[in-house]
Amino acid sequence: MAALTGKVALVTGAGHRKGIGHGIARQLIKAGATVVISDLADMQSLQNGVTDLQALGGEAAATLCDVSDKVSFDQALDFVLKQYKKLDVLVNNAGVAVGNEDFLAITDSDWQLSNQVNLMGAVTGCQTVLPFFKQQNSGSIINIASLAGLGAINGIPANYTATKFALVGLSKQLALQYAADNIRVNAVCPGSVVTQMHALTLQSIAESNGVSLQQAQDIENASIPLGYSANPEAIGDAVVFLAGDGASYITGQALPVAGGMAPGL
Ligand SMILES: NC(=O)c1ccc[n+]([C@@H]2O[C@H](COP(=O)([O-])OP(=O)(O)OC[C@H]3O[C@@H](n4cnc5c(N)ncnc54)[C@H](O)[C@@H]3O)[C@@H](O)[C@H]2O)c1
């Protein structure tokens, strides 16, 4: 029997096929879970994602979920419960990388958006599922933070770092508070993963160093002991581990999945 057979998982920010959310969904379904993918908008793209996931041989569905809107999150949970009668795993993956590496150039709206999605989106997700998990007396929440949530990394906007640190803190506090209800809360901290968000980071490395995109990738690779950026599936594998019974004694941890890259200061 696969590790997650019989478990139902909801993944936020999983609307496009090249993102980490979809990579997580692929690994969850391969491990036997039923997976509901969600995103801010674009139901067509979500439906295409469902078709891809079903081709892997499992059960999948999609629903819209704007993590910055409590009503939208409630509706997503209702959808999952109507469809599958239970939820075992919430993956708070939705995130935005806005801002500027120059602290003084970060706008109020950058601060607001990163706070609204990176931190408060996960807060809303936890507020939505925790009453149900408590009633069920089980559940696993996995927050996709960042290596930038463990230390300050050159070139990363302060608003991104601050919200990802806060997400790690949230994971630890909730792990403590809900352990008695058999609910585990952990964070996964990716380093560099090949997605649209990563393409923007590379562009910024290229611009600030006055080099080509390939040279920017080489600069980044030199800072990763394993020498390359991960595929989204590598983050999915960590999520599968933390969601499964093999991690039943692990809670309140922030797991770097970063090819050995150090979090910095
Ligand atoms: N790519 C990397 O190198 C990297 C490294 C560390 C951490 N991360 C984190 O991993 C997660 C996924 O990143 P990614 O690289 O796949 O980025 P991405 O931009 O490809 O995907 C992010 C997804 O979040 C969705 N989203 C944004 N606002 C939302 C909202 N209000 N409600 C619901 N969904 C919303 C977007 O529509 C998008 O589908 C993020 O939390 C990001 O901070 C990424």
The answer to whether the CB of 117 is under 6 A from ligand 1 is yes
**Would you state the pLDDT for residue 1?**
79
**Same structural domain for residues 111 and 213?**
no
Alpha carbons 76 and 66: distance in angstroms, whole number: 9
The answer to whether the CB of 16 is under 6 A from ligand 1 is yes
**Same structural domain for residues 54 and 163?**
yes
Across the range 241-254, mean pLDDT stands at 98
> Does some domain include residue 264?
no
**Same structural domain for residues 209 and 236?**
no
> Does some domain include residue 265?
no
Mean pLDDT across the chain, nearest whole number? 96
> Does some domain include residue 14?
yes
**Same structural domain for residues 107 and 122?**
yes
**Same structural domain for residues 201 and 237?**
no
**Can 178 be counted among the known catalytic residues?**
no
Asked whether 129 and 87 are in contact (CB, 8 A), the reply is yes
The answer to whether the CB of 144 is under 6 A from ligand 1 is yes
The answer to whether the CB of 192 is under 6 A from ligand 1 is yes
Of 159, 60, 169, 61, whose CA–CA distance to 117 is shortest?
Answer: 159
The answer to whether the CB of 40 is under 6 A from ligand 1 is yes
99 Cα–ligand 1 center, Å: 14
**Same structural domain for residues 219 and 189?**
no
CATH code of the domain covering residue 77? 3.40.50.720
Across the range 159-173, mean pLDDT stands at 99
**Same structural domain for residues 109 and 201?**
no
Across the range 87-110, mean pLDDT stands at 97
| Range with the poorest average pLDDT among 1-5, 43-47, 57-61, 203-207 | 203-207
> Does some domain include residue 181?
yes
Burial of 170 (0-12, 13-18, 19+ CB in 10 A): buried
**Same structural domain for residues 87 and 187?**
yes
Alpha carbons 137 and 47: distance in angstroms, whole number: 32
**Would you state the pLDDT for residue 25?**
98
Q: Would you place residue 175 in the very low, low, confident or very high pLDDT band (cuts 50, 70, 90)?
A: very high
> Does some domain include residue 257?
no
Number of domains forming the structure of the chain: 2
**Same structural domain for residues 156 and 218?**
no
Which of 160, 178, 228, 249 is flagged as catalytic? 160
**Same structural domain for residues 200 and 166?**
no
> Does some domain include residue 84?
yes
Probe ligand 1: pick from 17, 22, 39, max atoms within 8 Å of CB? 39
pLDDT at 252 over 90: yes
pLDDT at 155 over 90: no
**Same structural domain for residues 141 and 217?**
no
> Does some domain include residue 263?
no
Domain that holds residue 204: 195-229
Q: Say what percent of the chain tops pLDDT 70.
A: 100
Q: Would you place residue 21 in the very low, low, confident or very high pLDDT band (cuts 50, 70, 90)?
A: very high
**Same structural domain for residues 19 and 46?**
yes
**Would you state the pLDDT for residue 28?**
98
> Does some domain include residue 253?
no
pTM of the model: 0.98
Atom of ligand 1 nearest to the CA of 95: 41
93 Cα–ligand 1 center, Å: 6
